[in-house]
Amino acid sequence: MQAFSLMMLCLLSTPQEELTAIRVETGPSIDGRMDEEVWDEASTVNCFLMQYGPEYGQPMTEETEIRILYDDRYIYFGFHMDDPDPETMMEALTPRDNYLTGEWIAILLDTWGDGREATSFEISLANSQMDSKISPFGNWDYSWDAVWESATSRTSEGWCAEFAIPFSCLRFNASDPEQIWTINFQRIIGRTRENGWFVLSEAQQMAHLETFAPLKGIEGIEGSLGAEIRPYGSSRFYRLAESEDWDTNLDAGVDVKIGITSGMAADLTVYPDFGQVEADAAEMNLSHFELFLDEKRPFFLESEGLFNMPFNMFYSRRVGAVAPNGDVIPIIGGAKISGSLGGGLQVGFLDAVTSRVTEDSVTYSPAANYGILRTLQTFGPYNYIGLSATSRDVWEQDGFDESYNRGLSLDGAILLPGDHVIDGAAARSWNTDYEDGDAYSIGLHKVRSLFTYDAGYEYIGESFDVNGTGFTTRTDYWSAWGGSHRTWLMDGSFSRVRTGVNMWYSELNSGEVVGRNVHADAGATLNNGMYFGIDGEYSGETFDPYEGPEGRTFGDRASFYLYAGTNQFDDYYVSAGGGGGGYDSEGTFRNLNATVRVKPSSALEVRLSGNWYTTDDSRNYNWSEAAWDNRDTDWKSLILRANYIFNPDVNLRLFSQYSRFRMDYGLSAESESSEITANLLFTWQYLPGSMFYFLVENQFAEQEDGGFGAPDLGAYAKLTWYLPV
């Protein structure tokens, strides 16, 4: 009778479900078998999880068994996943934090029980691990990594999985005698592509944090106030094409994480080294502004979401950026304190010091200090008040005068009845050489629904500039926008159909219209994972203040983009897209791209991506001729990525790119540049949290007389040790 009740409990998938963790003196060994007697002490839940896809709301075809234990240091999860044909189960052998079609089981924990953030721990049948932080809006941030144990095994009836998650990698209120956590589980069946959940979301995002099931029984645990120390040693060998000698650099540094409270941690770094991070791919940029680059460096990825600020006040790639002479600005050291103080109060503070960059006794970039503060007082999943402060300070040195760039903002949001959220922000900047500047915004959004909308208004003052620490492009304007999107969960061949429309209008404060467009899109996903869609856009007459000495007005234009693809998680995946229309500065453009991915075995994956973008007869200012001119551009890029997975801890990755950019003005000579880059990275996690990296890289630049000469070569090795204290 009890087993039947538990099965019905799981089938109902309502927010009132409860799960209980049982305390034990000594937890199980993690071998993926779940055959130790200690597992018999756990309450057993046998249930059919509910499908988010492909048949929304239907029970999964196979049963899942769930058990939960804990002791003083770990919380343990054990699963048995039924499968009537174990021979067809897909391993999903993949590098960490890379999803691949196969058998998966995931745990999602909200250790504060307030719906503001959840932490996921996921493993495949091959014991490949994924972990992430999940926001209330359904964003999964896989940049977060923790050290935890897992193991799997095949059985005659399916497969088993065991997890041991240390309390030291979780943030919770240790002062509570009984923990008030909520939880959800996700299971993927590769053969049928079923995506099942213990508590099924009725919203667009799969993980609806507020509806997670209560997890009871966890009492008397303490958050870790210990430390994690990761010292490293590295060496680099490189040779420029014009040189016949190899140069060598030896470096060492350390990263330290210290528990301050059960909810707060401090991260310290001394001479951090990011040589093992994959280089940024070359991209075409025809705009007046720099490209916004994704963060890849581990120190800045920790608690990245907490440091999201209005008006892009903090752009972490500013710290340790590239100096005018092309050298990377070294980071001497950094400190970060982040986490929750309880009661919904979250705090993040970051400080980093960069050294100067000199070449031939010339200082190209001065030493500087970056200070970043973000605090949030939350009142449930969507209600909050936030305060942000940023500062970049340069002291007098090497011909550079003392200077500063500072910003301060206040922002917040309120959840209104009917799942509408109103948010707003106001900010001010202070800079050494010009007046203070202001910015403010207000927005209204629909959340937790298959129908969503967004509307808002933003004002950026002429002197508002936080580019010292953030990402400020244009200033002295206001803009307004609105849009809505609708998703339908379908029966039959279609899984989902969606449509949407967005409108945007912007003026300079002097009155010129700099943006007005309407964007519409529609798309569908089939039950087999294939997808297709179309985007269309119309832009009215606008003024570009940055084109030419005094700016220029350009006429209206329309464009479209079509795309389609097969199931992106299949072993063989193909996608393609293409479009064109009127270009922003008159003339026309065309864009074609395609991707092919093949996975001939569980260990090998190869991906080839190509992009071709051209503009014809655009009207641009030719600065070299000091005259308006017609311009043609042609961008081609081909990227090859390959992964070979020896096992979940040993991986070999290849990244290679060929890029060519041609620009032809009617009044001046054609210019062209081509480049081939490649790097091969070997990684080995020889102990949990401890890594060995070995990188070989080369770069071929096009010669003035055409063709490619000898490459610049480099080799890099790095060893890190994970030392829990």
* SS3 at position 132: strand
Please report where in the chains the tokens 């307004």 appear, as a residue. 480
d(CA 201, CA 187): 14
pLDDT per 10-residue tile (average), the chain, 725 residues = 40 57 93 93 92 86 95 94 90 85 93 86 94 82 86 94 91 82 93 90 76 91 75 86 77 85 81 75 79 82 85 93 86 89 87 91 91 92 93 90 95 94 97 92 92 96 94 94 92 88 96 96 92 97 94 95 92 95 95 95 92 96 94 96 91 93 93 90 89 89 70 88 82
Q: How far apart are the first and last CA of the chain?
A: 47
Given this model, what pLDDT does residue 293 score? 81
What digits encode the pLDDT tens for the residues 360-410?
A: 888 888 999 999 999 999 887 789 999 999 999 999 988 888 999 999 999
d(CA 181, CA 227): 24
Those residues whose C-beta lies under 8 Å from the C-beta of residue 60, and which sit 6 or more positions away, are 48, 49, 50, 51, 187, 189, 194, 196
Those residues whose C-beta lies under 8 Å from the C-beta of residue 467, and which sit 6 or more positions away, are 318, 405
Cα–Cα distances in angstroms (integers) from residue 309 to residues 302, 341, 392, 521, in the given order = 16, 20, 16, 29
Given this model, what pLDDT does residue 7 score? 42
* SS3 at position 253: strand
| φ, ψ (nearest 5 deg) of residue 301 | -75, -30
d(CA 264, CA 257): 10
Given this model, what pLDDT does residue 16 score? 43
Q: What is the DSSP letter of 310?
A: G
d(CA 527, CA 492): 8
Domain ranges (residues) in the chain: 2-216, 290-473, 479-687
d(CA 591, CA 340): 46
Q: Judge residue 601's burial from the number of C-beta atoms within 10 Å of its C-beta, 0-12 exposed, 13-18 middle, 19 or more buried.
A: exposed
Q: What is the DSSP letter of 491?
A: S
What's the predicted TM-score (pTM) here? 0.82
d(CA 34, CA 153): 9
Q: Closest Cα partner for 643 from 602, 686, 582?
A: 602
d(CA 392, CA 430): 11
| φ, ψ (nearest 5 deg) of residue 43 | -70, 135
If you classify domain 2-216 with CATH, what class do you get?
Answer: mainly beta
- Is residue 577 within 8 A of residue 610, CB to CB? The reply is no
Given this model, what pLDDT does residue 39 score? 95
What digits encode the pLDDT tens for the residues 43-82?
A: 899 999 999 888 888 899 999 999 999 999 899 999 999 9
Q: What is the length of the chain?
A: 725
- Is residue 215 within 8 A of residue 226, CB to CB? The reply is no
Instruction: Please give, one letter per residue, the 3-state secondary structure of 31-81.
Output: CCCCCCHHHHHCCCEEECCEEEECCCCCECCCCEEEEEEECCCEEEEEEEE
